[in-house]
Amino acid sequence: MPRPKKATRKEIASIKEAFLERYDAAVTELNYANAFELVIAVALSAQCTDKRVNMITPELFKKYPDPISLASADLEDVKSIINTCSFFNNKAKNLIKMAQRLVEVYDGKVPLDEKELVTLAGVGQKTAHVVMIEYTGANLMAVDTHVFRVAHRLGLSDDETALKTEETLVKKFKTDLHALHQGMVLFGRYICTAQNPKCNSECFLQEFCKSKKSFKAR
């Protein structure tokens, strides 16, 4: 199947303006009270819905409210709390290891620096970027399934991977990346959905759409 046409420079500017107008104050739908809880919630959200994560985390946060308590948690207990989340076995192990490193290396505080965040178990570049976007308003982009699909449907990227798509979006948008990320996530989640996108009723970017194909990163 041929790749969709690329958005022109003028279209990119218009798309950016439209996203910022609609989603300038958008924030994550994950529930959290501090940076520690945010890192956990974002890590759990990998290949799991925010809705599901928000059902899991209240009990987890109540029982393990800080890195010290989670660092010494029983693995089976953590597994039992998050067992409705995808890949819960590995995620439980990583949560405990993450908390242990926070205690041992960072005095129990979450480092709000990308290079340090990615040293935490279960925290890759995307998770680090999402945490910094949400918690500090950092001018960063993170590409999940929603952002990847939206970027390709609007002709903003024809890259085959999430990381390459991230690089392309950063180059094309340059500024306001935190708001654009949040906006593209919400737009992809509720309007430009993978199946049956709301093209005629709610879409405010229909004139820029290049394809309705359900793109997925390799």
Stretches in the chain below the pLDDT threshold 70: 1-4
In this prediction, residue 72 carries a pLDDT of 97
- Among 144, 176, 213, 216, the one annotated catalytic: 144
Q: Could you write out the DSSP letters of every residue in 27-43?
A: --SS--SSHHHHHHHHH
Rounded to whole angstroms, how far apart are CA atoms 184 and 181?
A: 5
- Whole-model pTM: value is 0.91
Domains of the chain: 9-26+140-208 (1.10.1670.10), 35-136 (1.10.340.30)
The CA-to-CA distance between both ends of the chain, in Å, stands at 16
In this prediction, residue 40 carries a pLDDT of 98
Let me know if 93 is a catalytic residue.
Answer: no
Let me know if 144 is a catalytic residue.
Answer: yes
3-state per-residue secondary structure call for 3-29: CCCCCCHHHHHHHHHHHHHHHCCCCCC
In this prediction, residue 2 carries a pLDDT of 59
- Among 16, 91, 126, 172, the one annotated catalytic: 126
In this prediction, residue 217 carries a pLDDT of 75
Where b means 16+ CB within 10 Å and e means fewer, 104-141 reads eeeeeebbeeeeebeebbbbebbbbbbbbbbbeebbbb
Question: Could you give the 3-state DSSP secondary structure of residue 89?
Answer: helix
